[in-house]
Amino acid sequence: MQYLNSSVIFKIKKVFRYFLLYGFRRTIIKILGQLHMAKKYTRLPSPPKRIGSRQIVGIIGCGNYCFCNIAFYLRQRAGSVMAACIDIDINRAASLSGYYKIPVYTADASEVIGNEQVQLVYIASNHASHADYAIRCLERGKSVYIEKPHAVSGEQLARLIKAMEASCGKVFLGFNRIQSRFGSIIKRYLNGQPGPGFYNWFIAGHEDLSCHWYQNPGEGGRVLGNLCHWIDFILYLASEKNYPVRIIPVVHSAPNGNIIVVYEFKDGTVANLSFSIKNEPFEGVKEKFTAHKGNCLITMSDFQTMTIEVQDVKKKFHNFYRDHGHKANIVSAYVNVAMGLPYDRERQLSYVWNTGWLILKTKEALETGMEQTIYPTSERAFDEKSYPQK
């Protein structure tokens, strides 16, 4: 949501609330992100300087998420490591370059993908372009961090898998919640319990996005733009080996809001995802998670407070500021590439396919109103012609 045209009182309340939720530095960068998106140059500035030896990161897509998360956390944790950035809106590329002192900015992706200094490319452009940019990078032997979603069709997913198999580059996905502190704690406690689990997510999302580019044909809509985060988390908890998975959709009128999806896994695990767009939450997306497995009961609110009960033992957890796992997810990809850390290629191939296919089949279930059943990665076919565009 754009806030620059809101009333002064609304802006003051919003800033104060964000100070409490995210702290001073994150709130300031979110404010600057709004200004960044509105920036227009009468004369484009000169790039800051030549590329340094530590600057091995390229950026594709210089929008608000990149400005407030990817570039922010990379500079905060790794320093000056960004070498080049590209956006189809040259004003955004110039603004990102100016604020974060990125030596090269451009509107031509080949200037980033073809740059020999760039080893890792963060892709945060429009959704339909993610897979194609990633494939071009992989073909040049570069590693990629793909902001969600990593594919908007089965055809794109199949081509991405093929590119991963043929490339020495590494692939990291932008599903941050599984990298959060609470995400790790939830996984640890639930793994310590026997039997199937029962999981429930309730999300109050952004209101109608009918005028947003999310809704442009081919971009994937609400499921690939929003729900993919929680679908990925459900698979993280239930296990990628827990197949087949039955997807049961409940949608009132259109698959872009007021949705309920039920997932039934092979071992009897059931997960329910409810997504409401009744109005715009003042604090942004609100989410509640509950889980019951064995003797463990979990309730979690907005990745800020959580209670875990295991029989007579009750523990309460609190994050001083909301932590959705953005920092850990973004920075870990850079650290892995920069330090040459181990990378389980087969494991990542399986993960990229499984989470992508579950998300795409959820979208299909909601669009058709029909149940879907999917099977494990070992049964996938890689002929992209067999996956028509949706």
CB 147 within 8 A of CB 59: no
Q: How confident is the model at residue 212 (pLDDT cuts 50, 70, 90)?
A: low
Rounded (5°) CA angle 232-57-347: 35
Query: Which residue bears the tokens 């029989």?
Result: 311
pLDDT at 389: 43
Q: Cα 375 to chain center, whole Å?
A: 24
- The yes or no reply on domain 8-173 and CATH 1.10.3720.10 is no
- State percent of the chain over pLDDT 90: 75
User: What DSSP assignment string belongs to 106-171?
Assistant: ES-THHHHT-TT--EEEE-S-GGGHHHHHHHHHHTT-EEEEPSPS-SSHHHHHHHHHHHHH-S--E
Res 215 pLDDT > 80? no
Res 241 pLDDT > 90? no
DSSP structure class, residue 378:
G
Spell out the domain ranges in the chain. 8-173, 177-322+346-386
pLDDT at 218: 83
pLDDT tens by residue, 171-189: 999 999 999 999 999 999 9
pLDDT tens by residue, 329-346: 999 999 999 999 999 999
Q: What is the pTM of this model?
A: 0.92
Rounded (5°) CA angle 348-366-205: 80
- The yes or no reply on domain 177-322+346-386 and CATH 3.30.360.10 is yes
C-alpha–C-alpha distance, residues 71 and 85, integer Å: 10
Query: Which residue bears the tokens 């059943």?
Result: 373
Asked if omega into 376 is within 30° of 0 (cis), the reply is no
Q: Of the candidates 163, 205, 223, 209, which has an alpha carbon nearest to the alpha carbon of residue 361?
A: 223
pLDDT at 283: 67
C-alpha–C-alpha distance, residues 251 and 260, integer Å: 6
The predicted model gives 116-144 an average pLDDT of 97
Q: Which residues pair with 262 in a beta bridge?
A: 248, 272
pLDDT at 282: 64
Q: How confident is the model at residue 307 (pLDDT cuts 50, 70, 90)?
A: very high
Q: Of the candidates 195, 192, 176, which has an alpha carbon nearest to the alpha carbon of residue 308?
A: 192
User: What DSSP assignment string belongs to 210-258?
Assistant: TTSGGGSTTS-HHIIIIIHHHHHHHHHHH-TTS--EEEEEEESS-TTSS
- What are the E-state strand segments in 46-103? 57-60, 82-86
pLDDT tens by residue, 217-231: 788 888 998 899 999
Res 116 pLDDT > 80? yes
Q: Which two tokens stand for residue 145?
A: 């961090």
C-alpha–C-alpha distance, residues 36 and 114, integer Å: 26
Q: Report helix, strand or coil for 286.
A: strand
22-36: buried (b, 16+ CB within 10 Å) or exposed (e) per residue?
A: beeebbebbbebbeb
The predicted model gives 68-94 an average pLDDT of 97
pLDDT at 7: 72
CB 223 within 8 A of CB 255: yes
Average pLDDT, the chain: 90
